A and B are shown apart, each in its own frame.
Chain A
Amino acid sequence: MSIQTTQLCKIYNQDTDFPVHAVKALDLKIEQGEFVAVMGPSGSGKTTLLNMIGGIDEPTSGKVVIDGNDIFELSDKDLIAFRRDNIGFIFQDYSLLPVLTALENVEFVMQLQGHSEAECRARATELLHRVGLGGHLHKVPSKLSGGQQQRVAVARALAPRPRFVMADEPTANLDAANTSELLDIMQQLNENEGTTFIFSTHDPRVIKRARRVIVFEDGQLTEDKSQGQVQ
């Protein structure tokens, strides 16, 4: 099980005089179970890359192949279903539904998969306990701190048992203590459940924990280092 990109390109404003090449002819392979950080300066194309391999942004050219299938060959409906079942997202601003409680936010994505209410309730409760929010199940996001909200977002991303989790600068709004706790949680989940985590970040605390670091500049992969090389 892997994600493989072939000559992946993304050009914004393609039909204008000032096209922006966000990702240029990228060939990349990420195996299941990896804990990968994509680093680079702002505007280097990290988020665009995550969006494309997460199936929410269509490339201008090239392929994103998961399990041997080019995901952008799927119909709109099938691609949404694919994302729902295989890919979890964690966003910089948490992006929780403000009208739902922590528990309901986590249950919600499982309900989209068609799980029973009891199943959703059990797994969501378990995940929230694992991320240390057992005492905050029924609080709405506005009653939680930034770190707690991001932990709810992690639980939400993991609830549908995805094989890949795309985390777009997940620690950008967190302090050192929350960042460390969050990374501990994600690392445990990666090690225990084999979930692949792909981060976009320029946070050295995240890079330090990553087992593989991909360096991105001007839409191009400039370095691809394993844990030892990063140290």
Chain B
Amino acid sequence: MLIKLAWRNLWRNKLRTSIMLSAMVFGLMGVVAMMGFMTGMYGNMIENAIAWQTSDLQVHNRKYVDNPDLKLIIQSPDRITDALAEIPEMKAWSARFLVDGMVASARSSRGIRINGVDSYDEARVTPLASKLVEGNWLTNEGRHPVLVSQKTADRLRLRLGSKVVLTFSNIDKDVTGAAFRVTGIFTTPSTGFDDGNLYVRRGDLMKLAGIEGVHEIAIVLNTTNSKIGSLFSNELALQVKAKLETANTYKLNSIRDWQEIQPMLATIISQIGVSNAIVLGIFMLAMGFGIINIMLMSVFERTREFGVLMAVGMQKHKVFTLIILEAGLLGVTGGILGVCGAWTLVTILQVTGIELGAMAEGVGALGVDTTLYPQVSAGEYFLTLVTVVAVSLFAALYPARQILKLSPVDAMAEKH
């Protein structure tokens, strides 16, 4: 009977309750979409960073991490690659020869990292081969092919077939270089990465450098997918890292997971919860005051009625329960409707995406795609619902307490 009474009391003033519920529903849709947008953006940033830059794990010469010198190649790379072949979670790996140098066209020149890669292996590790905006991926045919980013091409006024000169210091610290021909132009989600990287065949680069070997082995694991839970976790990378360490003789090489390579990503992950909590907290605070207002009006205009209930024998704890139930039902109704509305909105946005339009250049610097897809986990929907109900219950405590302080006759004397 109490639940029935509370539910009917809630709808005693239909307009007021409807307005409050609408505020809760639209507010929750906005908040959840905002949280989804933030999580989606951070997730996309991490996903892109792993896919295009860090991979799940990277192996370097231990000294190379602090001082990227040409001669600091990976020690016994075969032991590492043999060990990788034994690891079932391993999807692909690419051994890279890395050099910092200059790229020059007839118009301009600029500093750049030259990535010497095996075309087959690299195509399995990064999406580069399938994301060329012009031209073709590196092949074993032709003399000195080079892939440059769209940004570099624009700056140096290059197009397919243009000739560039790559120069850098070789193993003897002498300046060396060669002419390369642009066979492909790529673009990645990160403008920073595009600005500072180009790709050539590893064999071509090693010849010019006068040293054999690799500076980096990038490893991609099988679990890299769009599921938010695994995306934000480096657990598997750490497990594989532990297995690889056995092949890391005398610990001469450094094996790092993506969070170690880019500590900013780990910071972002820890930041997601905080930023979402702040957004949710601000909304809940505003909603809480709204509910307090509604409950104060609803309860105080019925003070006499509560007095009558106490007079006819309703125990105070039941009066308290009745008021709390009214607020709880408001919270549950608003929360369920709001979460359903938010789920619908997020589901639609997950299909259509959110075009960042004018912000694209700015988010490109963060390595974020220009179209974002919000991500909200079931746990976040549940947390939002629970928080709404909890805030609603909390908001009813003050009016309930005020009523309970009154004796039946005092409550009945109130004129509202």
Which residues of A pack against B, CB within 8 Å? 51, 54, 56-58, 76-77, 80-81, 83-85, 88-89, 91, 95, 97-100, 104, 107-109, 111-113, 156, 160
Q: Which residues of A contact B8 (CB under 8 A)?
A: 99-100
Number of A-B residue pairs having CB atoms within 8 Å of each other in the complex: 65
Complex alpha-carbon distance, A41 and B4, angstroms = 41
Does A51 lie within 8 Å of B1, measured CB to CB? no
Question: Nearest Cβ distance between residue A22 and chain B, in whole angstroms?
Answer: 11
Complex alpha-carbon distance, A97 and B310, angstroms = 13
Complex alpha-carbon distance, A79 and B338, angstroms = 43
Q: Which residues of B contact A84 (CB under 8 A)?
A: 312-314
Does A56 lie within 8 Å of B311, measured CB to CB? yes
Q: Which residues of A contact B4 (CB under 8 A)?
A: 104
Complex alpha-carbon distance, A230 and B272, angstroms = 83
Complex alpha-carbon distance, A107 and B312, angstroms = 12
Q: Is B318 an interface residue (CB 8 A)?
A: yes
Which residues of B pack against A, CB within 8 Å? 1, 4-5, 8-9, 12, 304-305, 308-316, 318, 407-409, 412
Nearest A residue (CB) for B2? A111
What 9 pairs between A and B have smallest CB-CB spacing?
A84-B313, A99-B8, A57-B409, A56-B408, A95-B308, A56-B311, A56-B409, A112-B313, A111-B1
- The 18 sampled A-B contact pairs (Cβ below 8 Å) are A56-B407, A56-B409, A77-B316, A80-B316, A83-B313, A84-B313, A85-B313, A91-B308, A95-B305, A97-B309, A99-B5, A99-B12, A107-B1, A109-B312, A112-B312, A112-B313, A156-B312, A160-B313
Question: Nearest Cβ distance between residue B200 and chain A, in whole angstroms?
Answer: 79
Question: Nearest Cβ distance between residue A125 and chain B, in whole angstroms?
Answer: 16
> Contact partner of B311 among A54, A99, A160, CB < 8 A?
A54
Complex alpha-carbon distance, A98 and B316, angstroms = 20
Nearest A residue (CB) for B319? A80
Q: Which residues of B contact A56 (CB under 8 A)?
A: 310-311, 407-409, 412
Nearest B residue (CB) for A95? B308
> Contact partner of B316 among A76, A89, A160, CB < 8 A?
A76
Complex alpha-carbon distance, A53 and B309, angstroms = 18
Complex alpha-carbon distance, A58 and B8, angstroms = 33
Nearest A residue (CB) for B314? A112
Question: Nearest Cβ distance between residue A75 and chain B, in whole angstroms?
Answer: 11
> Contact partner of A100 among B5, B308, B310, CB < 8 A?
B5
Question: Nearest Cβ distance between residue B126 and chain A, in whole angstroms?
Answer: 65
Nearest A residue (CB) for B9? A99
Does A89 lie within 8 Å of B311, measured CB to CB? yes
Q: Which residues of B contact A156 (CB under 8 A)?
A: 312
Extra A-B contacts (9), CB below 8 Å, given A83-B311, A84-B314, A98-B12: A77-B316, A89-B311, A95-B304, A95-B305, A104-B1, A107-B1, A112-B313, A112-B314, A112-B318
Question: Nearest Cβ distance between residue B328 and chain A, in whole angstroms?
Answer: 17
Nearest A residue (CB) for B411? A56
Complex alpha-carbon distance, A81 and B88, angstroms = 72
